[in-house]
Amino acid sequence: MVVFVLFFYQFLCGFSGTSLLDEVYLMAVNIFYTTLPAIVRGILEKDCQESVFLDHPTLYERGRRSTVYTLQSFWVTTIDSVYQSSVIFFATYGMFDSSAIGVYEFGLTVFILIVITNLLQISMENKYWNQYFVLSMAISIGFFLSSVLFLDFNYSDSLLSILGGRNYKLFMVSCGISACSGRHTGSVFVAAVHDPGAAERGEAAVSNTDRW
């Protein structure tokens, strides 16, 4: 997602060589801000209880036959990343198109949306919520906010100035939800095509890996 956001920025920077995102954020986004929930989910996530797998060992066929991580799922993930980065970048660009903010404030808003979208995405995909996953989310959000406030001291009150803008908080929430809606909307649509009665039975919200 970060790569595509930086790619879109190259068409608007006027060949100035400026960086949209601070180097510290680029280094920390996949190391400190979004990694811990993914690690906890990878260790503790489970689709079913142990007794279900013991009673139905055929459920292991998906992993044994490599039917989850396929070339199709790779391209779906790539397209979803392009969609998410497009929503984040161009929605933010349209939001501040007529304002007098600088490139730092613009980049900071984009980066906050990247982190929000990442954490919201993994929260929506997580099936087994427990205290460790909730704690990992709280630590990630707390560390992210504290580091942003600390780094913002170099730019006076940039964060406070954009947070105080009209409808800014509503924009952040709606943009984050819109960025995450692409794949899940597609999952519901594909599930309805494969099984038209799934929506009526409340099964339309199938896991991405089940249909994609």
Interatomic CA distance for residues 53 and 39, integer angstroms: 23
| Domain residue ranges in the chain | 2-8+21-211
Q: What is the pLDDT of residue 66?
A: 74
Assign 3-class secondary structure to 43-99: HHCCCCCHHHHHHCHHHHHHHHCCCCCCHHHHHHHHHHHHHHHHHHHHHHHHHCCCC
pLDDT of residue 86: 93
| Average confidence (pLDDT) over 82-97 | 90
Nearest to 88 by CA among 208, 8, 186: 8
More confident residue, 50 or 200: 50
pLDDT tens-digit series, residues 126-173: 888 889 999 999 999 999 888 888 877 766 566 666 666 667 888 888
Q: How confident is the model at residue 160, as a pLDDT?
A: 65
Model confidence pLDDT, tens digit, residues 197-210 = 544 444 444 344 34
Q: What local confidence, expressed as pLDDT, does residue 91 receive?
A: 92
pTM: 0.79
Q: From residue 132, how far is each of 116, 120, 143, 186 by CA, in Å? A: 19, 16, 16, 30
